[in-house]
Structure 1
Amino acid sequence: MHRFRITLVSFILLLCTEEVHSLSLIAKVDKTEATLQDHIILTLSVEGTQRIGRPDLPPMPAFDAMSRGSSTRMQIVNGQITSGVDYNYVLIPKKKGIFEIGPATIHHKGKTISSNKITLKISSADTKPQSTKDVFITTTVNNKSPYVNEQIIYTFKLYRRVKIANASLDNPSFEGFRVESLGKERQYEKIINGRSFLVTEINQALFPTREGTIEIRPAKVQCEVVVRTRRRRGFFHDPFFDDSFFGFSRTESKVLHSHPITVEVKPLPAEGKTPLFSSLVGNFTLATSVSKKKLEVGDTTTLTITIEGKGNIRDAHSPEFPSLTHFKVYDDKPTLTVQTSGNTFGGTLTIKKALVPLKEGSLKVPALAFTYFNPARERYELCKSTPLVFQVLPPSNKEKLHLVEALGTTTSKEEIKILGKDILPIRTSLSALKPYGMNPLQWAYLVFFLLPVAGYVGFTLIKRRRERWEEDLAYARSKSAVRNLNKKISLIKRYIKSEDSSEFYRLTSKALKDFLGDKLNMTGGALTPIEIEGQLQTLKIKKEKIESLKMILNILESGQFAFQRHSRKEREELLNQVRGLVKWCDKTIKK
């Protein structure tokens, strides 16, 4: 126990030596000049300590910044200990120009430490013809001067002659348009200037919602391009080894941009526009039908109104319905079905109304009508249904109006007499109101009835838990974390008596990190105490518990490299502390 305390004190002193050195923050980039299709790696290096929070980035309106994690460093040179941590970011340029980045800042013990500034020059994208590149994107529209609400087709294409990975498409916001999908993407090959490209094409229907000039901003694709590299000439220089199987490759991050598109949206013409205009632009039809035309007074028939066509079908609504004095009308909820045919968006709006005739005779429902604008013919067109005529008959089973007759005017009182008995006996005393309990046979029936229900509920709960276990990886890892750790502890116990104490500390450290990785759904073996602390702080774990966990992790790390040997009792005590901490973590950290 005495040697264990000496080791703990010495390790704490080792950590405290970090504070002796002055802290500094250094900003570095992998390049100072780039194009709009490149990205820049920004590294903020904290020198002098590892126990510090993430620096505050300066405002960078000309860039999108994404975190790429952190790494820690520690060196011992001539007995002098230096340590630090690097925070990495990816900067994606949004516009060209010369920009000054910085300074970034960190706050430590009431002091603010600033980094150096960096100047970056961003130029336009590569001006070489697109077809000469190995990977590029294009965006087009089939009509740059549509009418308001007229469909145009926006086409995105990704061309590539090399392998790419981790590609993500950032579509523009399409401000001023309503957007509809035109089905799944498709892939095909295309020859451009004798070069073969694999093309991924995505089509969308755009409906301009206002007139005037609207700009569609560039699309953006971030991806990793696989670049083949050749080895230097040597003993194995032979065409055989130029085959892709023996090729060496690396990846380069690329940001691909398309060009902006300007669309001039024309207003709908005033000539020919009537109050019947429905706001529909495209090509549409109107039809009506009824469930029956011959019925009786009080019967119900269903009127179905169908508007079908290609265009902005989502703006469709019921035509103006006439006032019917000889019918009661009950509206149902309209249903809209959208569909695509090739690169055209459209669908069907179905409106149903229940009609109840109030009088007999030949009753008529007038024709329904609306107009829409046909952009192909550049004129308004009329859609009109046919009138409906109903033959209404008088009701076949009239109810008698005299349902109650006066049987007499005698109001003299008479004694109540029992005239007869039915199947069940008539109760004449209050004992009939007394509650009765369930007999054993009734209880057996109840259990027999409820047993299948309980079995079904139990089976459903087990099935749902199994499905979540299979589909939710984070849940499965969290639930199996303690079981996996206990298996590893059974192996660790063998090294309590072993003379090689470093193996005990190595296995215990790995087991504890793997446990935390399972609970946090992270790669446990790669976690550092600093990263674990950051993750636990986001879960609002108590500070004293986090400090206890850090202390045990640091003891396990130092124990792997300590020269003195630790006793069996010291190892057992440390393992018990690990077990207690694991038990607390399992109850507190929920995924």
Structure 2
Amino acid sequence: MKRTGSASFFLLLAMLLAASTLLSEVDAEVTAGVSAEKLGLDDTLIYTLIFKNIENPSQPDLTYLDDFKTLQTSRSSEFQFRNGASSTSTRFVYYLMPVRTGKLTLPPVRYQYMGQDYQTRQFTVEVVKGSLYPAQPPPARQPSFFGDDFLTSPMQDRQPQKVDAYLRAVLPKKNCLKGEQLLFRVLLYTRNRIQAVNMLSSASFAGFWQEWFPVPQSITPGSENVDGVIYQVYEIRKAALFASESGTLTIPSLQFDLEMADAQSMFFAAQPIRRSTQEVKITVGEPPPAAAGLPVGQFDFSMHSPQAQADINDIVTLQIKISGSGNCKAIIPPPLPGSDQFIAYPAKITQENTYNSAALAGTLRAEIPVSFNKTGTLTFPPLEFRYFDPARGSIVSLRSRSLAIRVSGEKLSTDQALTLPKSAIVQKGEDIDFIRSGRLHDQSWHLYRQKWFAAVILAFFAFNLLLLLKTVLWDRHIAASPLLRNRQVLARTLKRLARVRHGEDIAPLLEAYFQAKSGLGLAEISNRKIAEIFSQRQVAAAMAEKFLFIKSQSELAKFSEHKKSALELKKDLETLRGLLREIDKKLK
């Protein structure tokens, strides 16, 4: 039994050796193929490269493609032995997503193997909007013991799930007025489980001011019956749009990357798909001439005072509030009328948005500091705020209630008063810090006013000037000149020779020196080649022979048991340094 086992082992070994010999004789080949010559912008193109009879090929990098984005790649190998001949095949599969419409080109793939150049054919693929067919999963392969995926998941034999997902851009109406709010929504209709959504398109629309709603961490879907099919509907994006110009405006198609849960994978992998919304056109009209420049929407308006009594030396802050469903960021609060009884200072304005499910609501708050000139009952007249209501189709005028403040006390002297006529407001950040009259003295510390600042700037300027001169003159002209470069090669070699402690270290230094001087590759340098170059450069025969003798002695020193003494090595190095200086004059 032992003899039979040994014979079988040697027979199998002989067959493998014969297979490798036959494999080397089979012609190598590189081919390519595409899954379709026409597809939609939302579809995936499968690009396959097949390497036949090429041992362990490296995977070509296709990231340089401008018209396609690589979503996923896979690799498989196959080995066949038939009728005494063997062959191998390695397959690379690329799943590509087009990034634009039109006729896109996949250039040839070039590969070099054993000194031979191989090239695939060029493909032209026509890409149109939308999707021509659902994205297909990677093609199933026959199981092979020699394949890279012989430990595949038992779930791979399941039928691939059908991709049924599309996007819709939804607006409440297609006609609106300039400045009127439109709620723009992107809805995802799907019968698959979607793990993630990423918007690829720009979030800016020409002709609109837009406020995008925050994207929630989780979205609760609804259900909708579409032609007898029940879909789960997700609101994946929402924005409030305000047209800033009249005419026919276009909301472009928005592209999204959807990560669909792959039911075939036992490791929770995701299958990327791409979907786009439809293009939407909106007709925008001008408001009535009487409403020109007015806010558009529905608003509330009020003004109140935090106190009904005040001292003549106090400051009272009047508060104006405007809230509603229009574009609050474009609203200017009405000013207080002028009066000799009080002084109104610039208002501090704050704005905030509330993202409701039906519309974007906003609130504008204006805080107006007021100081007093006279005592008595001061009455602030009602303020009027006007806007255009598109639902009513008319201008709405809102008036605040009048405010009465009883001012009492006695005006303080100039040096004690908190507020004075013709006073100046000093504002720190966004809050009023103090109010005083006269010229304001700047007490802050300034770096540029220090005595040493000018010296530092001059030193910095001088350093940059020297650096510029070094880069322009020295590095580009002087250091790059052949004369200086040759001197640097010789100086570098002599410096390295001074650090030599063993004879076998001399030969590599001489080869490096000759390589820098001749421009040859290290593999091209031999004693014969050195002799030819020396003869061409008219180096004396005696010096050439001495150079080659020292180099050969150094190479033999690696294998010799008898090493040169330190004195002999020092003598050889001194001779070699003088020899190099003479040879270098001829090799310039």
Q: TM-score, with normalisation over the residues of structure 1?
A: 0.50
More contact order relative to length (CA 8 Å, sep ≥ 6): 1
**Could you say which structure has the larger radius of gyration?**
2
